[in-house]
Every structure is written in structure tokens, then in C-alpha cells.
Amino acid sequence: MATTTVISSSLHLPTPTSLRPSQSLYYLSLLHLPSLQKSHRYRHLSPVGSRQKSPTPLLRVSAQENPVKKPEPMVPPYNVLITGSTKGIGYALAKEFLKAGDKVLICSRSAEGVESALQSLREEIGVQHVWGTTCDVRVGNDVKNLVAFAQKNLKYIDIWINNAGSNAYSHKPLAEASDEDLIEVVTTNTLGLMICCREAINMMLNQPRGGHIFNIDGAGSDGRPTPRFAAYGATKRSVAELRMQEVKNVVVHNLSPGMVTTDLLMSGANTKQAKFFINVLAEPAEEVAKYLVPNIRSIPANGSTKPTYIRFLTGLKAYSQIFSRFAFGARRNRYVLED
């Protein structure tokens, strides 16, 4: 299941018609949208091909010194593993990696979902470089078996994307959330993410090429409140804490797909405010993946060893689209009819 920012009916926003452009900055802050300021924690990614490589410094090593052994160069095609990848943004990412010539391993809790996704990918892409297996990221043995499956069929994994996540399709205040929903959200988004990171790191530590892990964030990851899905927001806040830059041979990055028109997002399109922002800011999973995949692939291609935060919906882009809506009526009723 794809991890996606969800607009909840509890957001205390005025009706879109009562908003002035100057007010939009405040109300936008109630949503999960990145600020215009760059985080000090990560190197933010510029568009592919826009960066110039700095000259590589010369390293002098005497006969008595032992040179530091560096990972082997990581050249395409890449071996990619994506959790929660039988639908939504996970499926779209898998498709784009396959189009780029990479080998992809998809997984999901549902055996039927895995089989259906495998068939669709092979029919759409026309290649056989895709594998699939069941995996419940909440269960340690399942993730260990996923690693074993990957090593058996692909030998190694260059790029591991932790996309599996859940909000239990629940849009209720914390006080009304059931035990089952809280357990589902917390065990999938927090425990599952930690288990996957642990197993991915242990596998990649022993790979000559090393590896890159990408964790997908969501609403709440920046610390802003998510009153109608508090458990989801709290779990996504923990994503930023799994940076682990000091892990030898492995680099951990963050991905922010923004608002994606998946089932998870559209299930919350039941208020004026939600419909307004979905129409103005959301994009189909296919469009988001077309942006993310080239930027993800550029990181190992450039030999980067620094944590990177790749964002599809930047603050500037969001504010620009909101302004266009107020000024020109752009994107009205694009996905859902507004009242």
C-alpha cells in the first residue's frame, strides 16, 4: 500500500471561496507541504543534469599506509526492491524503473495482489525483469525471507524503497480511533519501516557495491499536526529520524511524493477543503513516478554518498498552483467535483 499524504475532513480550513491569497500560506501550513527553506539535515536534489561535478580531489597514499577500501562503482542497470508495490505510487515506481531497464522486485501482503501486479507489469512493459513475492513488513521473518528471495533471484539490491504504509483508511480523531486501526498504522509505518531498514542495511553492508535505501515520508513528517489521522502523522514523523548517515557502505535517503491520487488519498475527499486541495495539488501516481525515478537513479550514477531528500511537491510549486487557482480558476474540478 502506497504511503501518501491524505487530506482529512478535520482540517479546520475556511471554504475555498473565502480564502484570500494572503491567507493560503497559513492554511497550507496545516497540510503536509514542505517549507520553502531547505532542511539542514539533507542535501536537496537539483533536477537531473543541472549539477556540475566538482573536481575529484587527489588522494596520496604512501606505501606504509593502508588505503580505505571504497565500494565498487554502481552502474546501471540497477536491482531495485520496492515494498508495498502492487498498486498506487509503489506500482508506478516499479513500472518506471522497468522502463529504464532496471530489474525490479515487488512485494505485498496479498499473494493475489502480487500475482496481478506481476502480470500487469509484464504485459505493459514487455520485459521479464520483474519478480514478486508476499511480505508483511511488520513481521521480521517475512522481511528476512524477502531478502533471501532477492539474493536468490537478483543476487544483490542496489536501491531499496520503503513504500509500504497504512492509515487504515481511517479519518477519525485519535479519541475515536479503534485499537485495531492504531495497531495497523503503527506496526506497519513504524515497526515495519524499522525492520525493513535493519534487514536492508544488513544485506547491503556485505555487498561490494553497497546500497541506497529510500524511505517515503508523508503527512506529519515535518511536525505539523494531522488531527484526523494522528497515528499516521506520528508514525511519519519518525521517518526523518532514520537517517543513519554513518552506516558504512549504505546511504539512507528520504522521498516525498506529495499528494498522489491513490485510493488512500481519494478516500478522504469528502469535504470542501479536501476536494479543493486535492484538485489543486494532487497528481497521478504515474506523473509523480516519472519525476522521482530519474532522480533516484541519478544518485548511485553520480556516486553520491550523502543522504538526499527528493521532493516532488515543493513549497514553491504548491504556492504557485494555489495562486493560479485563485487568480485564474486553474484545476477546478480536476479530479473531484467541488461544491
Enzyme catalytic residues: 232
What lies within 8 Å, CB to CB, of 1 at 6+ separation is 84, 87, 88, 90, 108, 164, 165, 166, 188, 264
Neighbours of 336 (CB within 10 A): 15
Grid coordinates given for 170: 481511517
Tell me the three cell numbers of residue 227.
488531527
Strands (E) across 32-180 are located at 43-44, 79-82, 103-108, 130-134, 159-162
Q: How far is CA 27 from the centre of its chain?
A: 24
Do residues 186 and 138 lie in contact, with contact meaning Cβ atoms separated by under 8 Å? no
Contact assessment for residue 74 and residue 210, using Cβ atoms and an 8 Å cutoff: yes
How far out from the chain centre does Cα 314 lie?
14
CA 151 to each of CA 108, 198, 292, 296: distance values in angstroms, whole numbers, following the listed order: 18, 16, 25, 22
CA distance 170 to 264: 9
- Nine-digit cell at 104? 525490479
